[in-house]
Amino acid sequence: MQDPLCDQIPMRPPDQVMKLARMGSAHAHRLSFMRILMRRMQRENWRFSVTEFSIDHLGVGQAVYTVHTPDRAYSLVAFAHDLPDDQRSDRVIAQAWDCTFTLFDGIPSAEDRVRLAQNVPLQEAGRISQSELSLSRANRSVRLWSHVVNALAAGQQPDPAKVAEVGYLMRTTAVYGSGKFGAADRQDVEDRPEFQAPFQCEMLSVYLTRIFVMDLVEHMARCKGGARAVPLDPTLRRSFGIGNSTGLGMAPFLLNHPILLNNWITAKEQALARVRNLPKFTQTDQDRFTALVHRANLNLQLWRSDHPIQVEKLAALKADINALNTLLKAGPVVSWNAVYCFAEERFSIEGCELVVSLLIECHPELVDDLADTLAADETTGSQIDGTATVGRLLGQIAQIYGWAEELDWQEESNSARVWYVSAEKQEPRLGERFVEADIADYEQPLCPLRDVMRLAQCLEGYSKNTNTSEILRSHPEHRHALRRVQIAARYPYAEIRDNTICATMLPIDMLRLKLSFFGAKHFDPRSDRWVRINMFADAPYPDTLAQSGDDWFFPQQVCA
Amino acid sequence: MIPSLNEVSALARKACTGVGYSWGLSEDASRATATAWAYGFDSITALAELLQAKESGKISGDCPLHLGAHLCDSQPKTPIVFETLTSPELLLFIAADLPKITGKSYRITLKSAVFYATPKDLYQAEDQPNTDVFTLRPAAPKGQRLHPAPRRVASEAAWTTLTRFASRTYAPATESSRQSGAGAGLTDAD
């Protein structure tokens, strides 16, 4: 559908946007899910209360944090444990955690609490119900937890440099929702306005977790230091986020939800196009944008990574921000689009995508309504049109996958990887097709490009007027690929325009795209298939929610 | 076991793949099983029976997954009749995709029950009983609109059967897979 606000400059094409290198350089933006949640909490004046906090001096016990929306209540039920250091693992295959949580739909009764206490600490090995909206866990940052507890217990503030080095006191290692392990299905809550946008239950759970963790660390300091203990300085306290450690599970999500992916990318690209189409760029605009670039630079100072790929990207990003500052100081900029074009022509992809987020950030009045377009009804839209002819299908394949026509599938590097699920806690993994014996027998359908090329080869043997229904009858093995082509033809940003099983593919690119839509910052890859992030850092707590607005994502100052 | 729809859908897809259905047919079967379960039909048992029959070689031309997929793909304009079928309930819910594709409404009979499927809804009517196992023809909807049923207990035997078939899609746990497959080798106690 044509957007009247984008009449001159079109949205960026899928062949540019849906490349893994660009997806893996995405930054959070105003349409990210935690930003949407924060705006709603503020707009509707959600009220927060601590219903229970029964935690002993070892950090063991339970707590309940309740949030009241205009129509409903939701409660984070937290279980704190005393976990030996050697059991602390971010992997799905972990068996124990420092804290476990569920987001309860309402206020739990005593009976609910007993049931939850028997199940939530077990995570995947337990069972939750339709009354629960999420299931999650978090581990302490060993680097920071003791330092903060000890400092506060001694009546001192923790070292801001150490705080900045890590950025969070606990990191979540999984936040399950949407029917997982018995939880409420998305269909159960999607009619509620507060959960219409994607992943709002999960984001609410993480926001409440952050509040709980900050209360917990101050509680532990009081237990240790008694009357000498002090609370965290409010500015420093606000800089803490909740960490998250994410593995391969997120990558299949993007491939398994093409219509949802399309809606996310469409909203973001539409937002960018609306800003680029603005005819005027005044001195006020330039001053506002310059201030935002300064804050993005502060954010960059807090972004740490030891991974060679990210180290290189951060160096390029620093140079790009310097170049942007030089441009803005040199004199009046012609238009918002001129800023974008400058970045696209001269910056690294990482830098260009930061500029995209900054441009979107400057125009809430133009883009915030697009939050309503992010969700997708995936029950319709994925049906196959068997009356489409072979000629039509081949035309669609050429248009969407044409960039890959020259790929040689006999070359092992082009199909080196196998996505599979391990019997061990059903952990998603990535194998080497030509190294690991029999691993291809367990391959998941997460290689649409190869499968569409196989379909295309099959189609070449038929007349262009043949209905695809005839082909599917004799070749059901191509059914998923044909569906994929038709979805991608209807939804332009549904398909990743890259080879998801080649030897050089970086799963972290897919993880980062999804995490950027969550609203994460400080992406820190730990390997090519593992990334840590920070969520809700610098976000206002309930006591300052009303006056903070939605202007918190880029820090105003750096404590370190 | 009181499963969520997400769990029904995920287990159905993996179980179908586990007994050898193609990825694409498994996707359709998964959606049909979850939708049927949501409307109160015991599609978990129906799917388990179908997969067991396939496993023991008792399915040939009457597979509801193949027939249903072809029915939707070919978008028939004349009435369809199938006289023998394994797990015909699954065919009902695969065929319920047809209105979403064509934008039209259909009358579908399943043994003695009569349904009307529209692009958005499913209706059940007290029409004249039918002796064929499954029939389908274009028709305007009538009867009572069906609503989602509450969550309920799934047959333990059927769930166990599907879980057993689904487990075939998981690679055996090995130490090398544990080490290399998910990016391990780093300390997490930091």
The per-residue pLDDT string of chain B (190 residues; one tens digit each, 9 = 90 and over) reads 999 999 999 999 999 999 999 999 999 999 999 999 999 999 999 999 999 999 998 886 789 999 999 999 999 988 898 887 888 889 999 999 999 999 999 999 988 899 999 999 999 998 776 778 899 999 999 999 999 999 999 999 999 999 999 999 999 988 877 777 777 545 666 7
* Residue A427 pLDDT: 86
User: So what's the pLDDT on residue B181?
Assistant: 76
Structure tokens belonging to residue B4: 């969520």
pLDDT in tens, A460-507: 999 999 999 999 999 999 999 999 999 999 999 999 999 999 999 999
Burial class (CB in 10 A: 0-12, 13-18, 19+), A43: exposed
In chain A, residues with a C-beta closer than 8 Å to the C-beta of B22 are: 476-477, 479-480
> What does pTM read for this prediction?
0.96
The sign of the dihedral angle between the CA atoms of A261, A262, A264, A269 is positive
Q: Cβ of A523 under 8 Å from any chain B Cβ?
A: no
Q: What is the pLDDT of residue A94?
A: 83
What is the Cα Rg of chain A in Å? 24
Stronger pLDDT, B146 or A90, i.e. the higher one: B146
- Give the gap in angstroms from C-alpha A128 to the nearest C-alpha of chain B: 10
Extract the tokens encoding A251.
Answer: 């990558």
Helical ranges in A184-257 per DSSP H: 186-189, 200-225, 234-239, 250-256
Residue written as token pair 């070749």? A475
Q: How far is CA A441 from CA A438, B76, B169, B170, in A?
A: 6, 36, 8, 9
Quote the pLDDT of residue B189.
66
- What mean pLDDT comes out for the span A224-234? 97
Q: What is the pLDDT of residue B186?
A: 58
pLDDT for position A269:
98
pLDDT above 60 for A542:
yes
Considering only the beta carbons, identify the residue of B75, B176, B184 that sits closest to A386.
B75
Q: Do B182 and A431 touch (CB under 8 A)?
A: no
Mean pLDDT of A111-139: 96
Asked if B100 and A436 come within 8 Å (Cβ–Cβ), the reply is no
Confidence of residue A381 (pLDDT cuts 50, 70, 90): confident
Q: How far is A420 from chain B (nearest CA, A)?
A: 7
pLDDT at A380: 81
Determine which of A172, A526, A528, A532 to mutate to test the interface with B (most B C-beta atoms within 10 Å). Answer: A526
- Contact residues, chain A, for B15 at CB < 8 Å: none
Q: List the alpha helices (DSSP H) in chain B.
A: 5-18, 23-38, 43-55, 64-74, 88-95, 98-102, 156-166, 175-180
Q: What is the pLDDT of residue A448?
A: 97
Q: What is the rounded average pLDDT of the residues A350-360?
A: 98
Q: Which pLDDT belongs to residue A560?
A: 64
Residue A4 has pLDDT above 80, yes or no: no
Work out the mean pLDDT of chain A and round it to a whole number: 95
pLDDT at residue A356 tops 60: yes
Which is more confidently placed, A89 or B16? B16
Residue B172 has its nearest CB partner, among A183, A186, A423, at A423
| A487 reaches B (C-beta below 8 A) | no
A276-294 pLDDT per residue, tens: 999 988 999 999 999 999 9
Q: What whole-number percentage of chain A has pLDDT above 90?
A: 88
Short-list B152, B130, B138, B51, CA closest to B98 = B138
Determine whether the interchain pair A379/B35 forms a contact, defined as Cβ–Cβ distance below 8 Å: yes
- Tens of pLDDT, residue by residue over A241-269, are 999 988 888 889 999 999 999 999 999 99
Q: Are A182 and A254 in contact (CB under 8 A)?
A: no
Verify whether the Cβ–Cβ distance A469 to B74 is below 8 Å.
yes
The pLDDT value recorded for residue B131 is 74
d(CA A225, CA A148): 12
Cα angle A271, A273, A275; round to 5: 75
The pLDDT tens digits of the residues spanning A46-64 come to: 999 999 999 999 999 999 9
Euclidean distance between the first and final Cα of chain A, in Å? 47
- Contact state of A480 with B23 under an 8 Å Cβ cutoff: yes
Asked if the C-beta of A143 comes within 8 angstroms of chain B's C-beta atoms, the answer is: yes
Would an 8 Å CB–CB cutoff place A245 in contact with chain B? yes
So what's the pLDDT on residue A125?
A: 93
Residue type, B126: E
pLDDT 10s digits, A296-331:
999 999 999 999 999 999 999 999 999 999 999 998
CB-based contact, A426 to chain B, within 8 Å: yes
User: Per-residue DSSP letters for B130-170?
Assistant: --SSEEEEE----SEEP-PPPP-PPPHHHHHHHHHHHGGGE
Instruction: Tell me: ipTM over 0.90.
Output: yes
- Exposed e or buried b per residue across A104-133, where buried means at least 16 C-beta atoms within 10 angstroms of its C-beta: bbeebeeebbebbeebbbebbebbbbbbbb
**A318 at B interface, C-beta within 8 A:** no
**pLDDT (tens digit per residue) in B115-127:** 999 999 999 998 7
Interface test with chain B among A417, A446, A472, by most B beta carbons within 10 Å: A472
The pLDDT of residue B188 is 67
